[in-house]
Chain A
Amino acid sequence: MRTLAAILLTVLAAVGGPAGANEAVPTAQDPVAAKRSVELARKLRCLVCQNQSIAESSAELAVDLRRQINEQIAAGRTDAEIVGFMTDRYGDFVLYQPPLKVTTVLLWAGPGLLLLLAVLVLRRALRQQAETPAPVPLTGDERARATRLLREEAAAGRDAAR
């Protein structure tokens, strides 16, 4: 129903021309499809640009691919099918989320391995730290001697200041 309304609106707008205040015509179809289209376009790289997704770029290729996505959504293709269409044409380079393959195993496992390594090192460090003997508490005699020494030093300091 929504699609029908959108089509009708488009036709009306085309026929009627800009007479007075019209509701602007979305370049994509209905809001749900538009959202899907933008989300898909964000995951795909514009191949002729310097690191832009095709959602962001205004290069000819990006505009063309956005139209492709819209058409395929309208034709009822699933997201996976559309992504498949893109990779068949342009290879994995077009995907901002690299697929899990032999060549990308390290990429996807890397952060987990790093974390595991870090946790192991952290645990070892904490354990070592717990095993180092605590400084032996002073005996009563030692404490008294330390206090006396400190006091003498303080007194000497005062004398020097005078």
Chain B
Amino acid sequence: MIPEIGQLALILALLLAIVQGTLPLLGAQRGIRAWMALSRPLAAGQFLFVAIAFLCLAWSFLTSDFSVLNVVNNSNSRLPAHYRIAASWGSHEGSILLWVLMLSLWMQAVSVFSRSLPREVLARVLSVMGLVSVGFLLFLLLTSNPFERLSPPAAEGNDLNPLLQDPGMVAHPPMLYMGYVGFSVAFAFAIAALLGGRLDATWARWSRPWTTAAWCFLTLGILIGSWWAYNELGWGGWWFWDPVENASFMPWLVGTALVHSLAVTEKRGAFRRWTVLLAICAFSLSLLGTFLVRSGVLTSVHAFATDPERGLFILVFLAIVIGGALLLFALRAPQVSGGGRFESISRESFLLANNVLLIVAAGSVLLGTLYPLVLDALSGGQTKISVGPPYFEAVFVPLMSPMVFLMGIGPVARWKQATLPELWTLLRWAFATSLVAAVLVPLVTGGGSWGLRLGLFLAFWILAATVVNIRERIRNFRGAVHERLAMQPRAWWGMILAHLGVAVFIAGVTVVGTYETERDVRMAVGDTVEMGGHVFRFDGTTEATGPNYRAARGTVTVLRDGREVLTLHPEKRTYNASGMAMTEAAISTGVLGDLYVSLGEPIDAQSWSVRVYHKPLVTWIWSGCVLMALGGLLALTDRRYRLRSTRQQRAAAVISPA
């Protein structure tokens, strides 16, 4: 019964979405108020029905209803409850439903928080989002029904992929999808502006907080995914340039460019066409990413051929959304005026250069991700190549290094017109200090390559340039230093925080890349291995049983100067339902570095192969991302967004005196 209610709710949501995607849009074009007024209640209705559908699916998983095919394939009665709920988005069908849920959530948020928007704009924005929703709901109902029944019901489920049985699975997909789908708001605003022919600073101001919010979620989503891989995969990597990761990274790169470009459009009226194009690209890449990951095309191009229905739907849908948006852009963009003027050395031009580098980087990641697929398809499966970390690192570092360098200059350069001598006077000490630090630090810590020096230089450079930026910013204010600092708007502090996050991130990546040590050893009970000033003693393994797995639980005691400081318990699990073996690493996290131990294979009765890693500053990588996301959140709480709403309230009070 419950699955049928879910199915029905999806159909109702689709019907509402169809109306929402058409009537308000037509109303806005023809000036029919009643049609435009439909958009908000329709969005609310859609949210209600999609939420009901999602709850029905979650309920089927929670109660282990093995008459639902999706539940049988992705769950098991012995699976712990929180993973049963997380399993609702573990499958292809479930994750698309999660996508639609997020979309309706964003729609509802727009409809609640954007009451002050002109009627036409709100109607168009919600209509465009409604049209996207139509596509996804059709995809669900026609090709990927999450509620498909199995008759007769199965006695037991196949279990959730053990790789996915991690706290990361509970948080990563919802966050990531909030980010992906959040870009649909920026996209809808862009399309609405193109349709309405009004592309100005007001438009940028409206869509800016939404874009920042989506960007924050995406940053957090990627960060949780990376941290999950670090914990769960058992060899201590944090980024693998896997196509699945690239799929989330491309929208992030373009989204980052968009956040900055929107700032210029709002403040200076410049880059209007470019900003619209970025908004379209960011969402297109989100769509592409969702489908790349979800269609199975990454594992094998032939997944497409075996399931032509889904593949064809995806291709047609992508073509309509992306092609339609770009066509509209091509038709309308020439009418958009260029906006505020600026000289070739100015904050605008630095931001534009950074934008270009981010886009080229995103394009290169796209190329490296799709190239093997295209080559495989064109050659009829004859030419298979792999594009992995060595390629992406070779491409990415040369593109990102100048980008990061410009990041130090942009925020201190004047709008409109700056001069190089002036910038040099401002930044020469920051430049010299970071250069000296990049040379000195490796002398103290020992060893080091040019890569290390470059990474350190860039991290110190952002730090030093940020200090200069803060000093310059408060110079013309009066009062004590802390008062002057407190006077600055939160949006500006958000920028400072996010940029410092990049510095922390780069420091982490550079140091862990240079100084991480790993030993792959064979250990019997009582054996020791020394690393990073610590001695690791293997004290054997014991049998352990979890809710749905058996495990060999190792005990590794860490000694420092002969004293026991820590006990780690790495596990080798075998999951009952699938028989799959999983390595559960034991990690001791510290500000200065992690100790990471994972069990390999048993070699004989007494000994195991054990991998021990020392990873200095690895936590800085994720801390940097957290700082970036916090910076975005801080910017969202800026006074002017709140001011606008109090002003609206006051305006409303004047119009309708109680």
Contacts and interface: CB of A to CB of B under 8 A. Distances in A.
B307 interface: no
A114 B364 contact: yes
Contact of B527 (A22, A106, A128): A22
Nearest to B609: A27
B304 interface: no
B528 A21 contact: yes
A140 interface: no
A51 interface: yes
B347 to A, nearest CB: 14
B341 A129 contact: yes
A97 B375 CA distance: 15
Interface in B380-422: 383-391, 394-395, 399
Interface string B301-324: 000000000000000000000000
A132 B343 CA distance: 11
Given A18-B607, A94-B386, A119 B356 contact: yes
Given A26-B519, A114-B364, A45 B341 contact: no
A96 B388 contact: yes
B6 interface: no
Given A24-B610, A114-B364, A115-B360, A18 B527 contact: yes
B529 interface: yes
B352 A125 contact: yes
Nearest to A122: B356
Contacts of A98: 385-387, 391
Nearest to B581: A58
A138 interface: no
Interface in A24-41: 24-28, 34, 38
B537 A107 contact: no
Nearest to A111: B364
B4 interface: no
B225 interface: no
B622 interface: no
B521 A26 contact: yes
B363 A104 contact: no
Contacts of B528: 21-24
Given A18-B527, A18-B606, A122-B353, A97 B343 contact: no
Given A23-B528, A98-B387, A98-B391, A56 B233 contact: yes
Interface stretch (B54-62, B144-152, B191-199, B236-244): B236-244
B200 interface: no
B624 to A, nearest CB: 24
Contacts of B383: 92, 103
B395 A111 contact: yes
A64 B356 CA distance: 45
B135 interface: no
Interface in B321-379: 338, 341-344, 349, 352-353, 356-357, 359-360, 363-364, 367-368, 371, 375, 379
Interface of B: 233-235, 237, 240, 242-243, 299, 338, 341-344, 349, 352-353, 356-357, 359-360, 363-364, 367-368, 371, 375, 379, 383-391, 394-395, 399, 518-530, 537-538, 581, 583, 600-601, 606-607, 609-610
Given A24-B538, A94-B386, 14 more contacts: A18-B524, A22-B527, A23-B529, A25-B521, A58-B583, A58-B601, A92-B383, A92-B386, A93-B386, A107-B368, A110-B363, A115-B399, A126-B349, A134-B341
